[in-house]
Amino acid sequence: MASSGWTGYETRFSDEKSVRDYVRLYDKGSHDDYIWSLERPVLVEALRRERERRGRLRLLDFACGAGRILQAVEEVVDELTGLDISVQMARHAAAASPKSTIRTGDVLTDDLLSGPYEAVTVFRFFLNAPEELRLPVLVKIREHMEPGSLLVLNNHGHCPSLRSLVVRAPKPRQQRPNELRHRDVAALLHMSGFRIEDRYGFSMFPSVLHRCLPDRALRAADGAAGSPIIRRFTRRLMIEQLYFARAVG
């Protein structure tokens, strides 16, 4: 989205190698693959129920990247559209999910969203996008959703969490990774015309601890913390946050 001030993503993933390197982050056994293995069934089941309720489901995956989300949900969605600003990422998405319609461009300046969509997914975008683009993008998405439609987005750097202490706090402010608090996400959703319906948390421990401590023990602790009874108390400490919100009139 260079014309809107998003200067980085479209150049970072402008060649095939950079996209392949990104895709490899989700290789089987990796930490990102582990987090995705927790998120994926929750997302797929929510979309399956939404389709069952409506009878038909058209989904937009905004900032679709290499097509990970599209590929995962294509069995429970009738029409799939993926949108990304990176041409190279879009090519990978088209290969990963042949059933999807893939579009490339700047959602704020180009006419790319047809809609209306009954469901929209937005993964790994809001934490990475410049702050001044977050609200305009959500407003644009909301314009192409009818009241009651489902929005699913994630925040992969929630604060406060152990990630804040282990990765963020020891570094100078200018070197700290981006983070978003729940209140920031909630405010964005409210201002753009959405009401939070549910919120899930995944992974208590940052990847650096998984590299230093017994992985099996940490994953077992994650499983216990994410159980239905306990998650209401632990979700606010989880690094990965998954939001389900409804478009309001």
* DSSP code string of 81-106: EEEES-HHHHHHHHHH-TTSEEEES-
pLDDT in tens, 209-241: 888 888 889 999 888 887 878 877 888 889 999
Pairing of strands 240-247, 145-155: antiparallel
Single out the residue of 55, 160, 48 nearest to residue 40, CA to CA. Answer: 48
Quick one: pLDDT band at residue 5, thresholds 50, 70, 90?
A: very low
Which residue did the predictor score with more confidence, 248 or 174? Answer: 248
> Percentage of the chain with pLDDT > 70?
93
* Res. 18: pLDDT tops 60: yes
Residues contacting 85, CB < 8 A, separation 6+? 1, 6, 9, 10, 63, 104, 105, 106
Over the chain, what is the mean pLDDT?
Answer: 89
pLDDT on residue 130:
87
The tokens of 217 are what?
């023990």
pLDDT tens for 23-80 read 999 999 899 999 999 999 999 999 999 999 999 999 999 999 999 999 999 999 999 9
Mean pLDDT of 138-150: 96
Per-residue pLDDT band for 110 (boundaries 50, 70, 90) equals: confident
Does 122 or 19 have the greater pLDDT score? 122
Please, how many CA atoms are within 13 Å of residue 211, restricted to the half-sphere of its CB? 7
Rg of the chain, C-alpha, whole Å: 18
Structure tokens at 95: 């290969």
